């Protein structure tokens, strides 16, 4: 089983918090929101995770998560050049997922 985390979107409704980073990295109880997602996947036994990045601060996401080793997972980054919807974002993960089952979180 593999995991896919959708990390796109601009976060316009969360401004001004999203002027300096993506909404998924906004801290809640001292941790980025998407870190809770990553840890939930890991705690469920999923060790391979793709993070689909949009055009909003992808470098900050890579900087925070790196290769995933400090979180106990292996992270593959997939880039969605421009926002074309959730189905498109998931379709970009075909090579990563292969024939395995996967969960989108």
Going along the chain from its start, the domains and CATH numbers come out as 2-104 (3.90.550.10)
Beta 102-104 vs 74-79: how paired, if at all? Answer: unpaired
Instruction: Judge if pTM exceeds 0.85.
Output: yes
pLDDT value of residue 87: 95
Give the list of residues 6+ apart from residue 89 with CB closer than 8 angstroms, or none: 6, 8, 52, 78, 80
Mean pLDDT by 10 residues, the chain (105 residues): 89 73 86 96 98 91 97 97 90 96 94
How many Å apart are CA 23 and CA 15, to the nearest integer?
9
Q: Other C-beta atoms within 10 Å of 8: how many?
A: 24
């Amino acid at each position: 089983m593999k995991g896919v985390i959708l990390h796109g979107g601009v976060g316009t409704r969360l401004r001004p918090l999203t002027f300096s980073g993506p909404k998924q990295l906004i801290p809640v109880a001292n941790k980025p929101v998407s870190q809770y997602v990553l840890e939930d996947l890991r705690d469920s036994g999923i060790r391979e995770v793709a993070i689909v990045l949009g055009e909003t601060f992808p470098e900050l996401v890579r900087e925070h998560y790196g290769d995933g080793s400090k979180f106990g997972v292996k992270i593959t980054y997939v880039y969605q050049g421009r926002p074309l919807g959730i189905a498109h974002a998931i379709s970009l993960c075909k090579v990563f997922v292969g024939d395995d089952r996967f969960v989108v979180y």
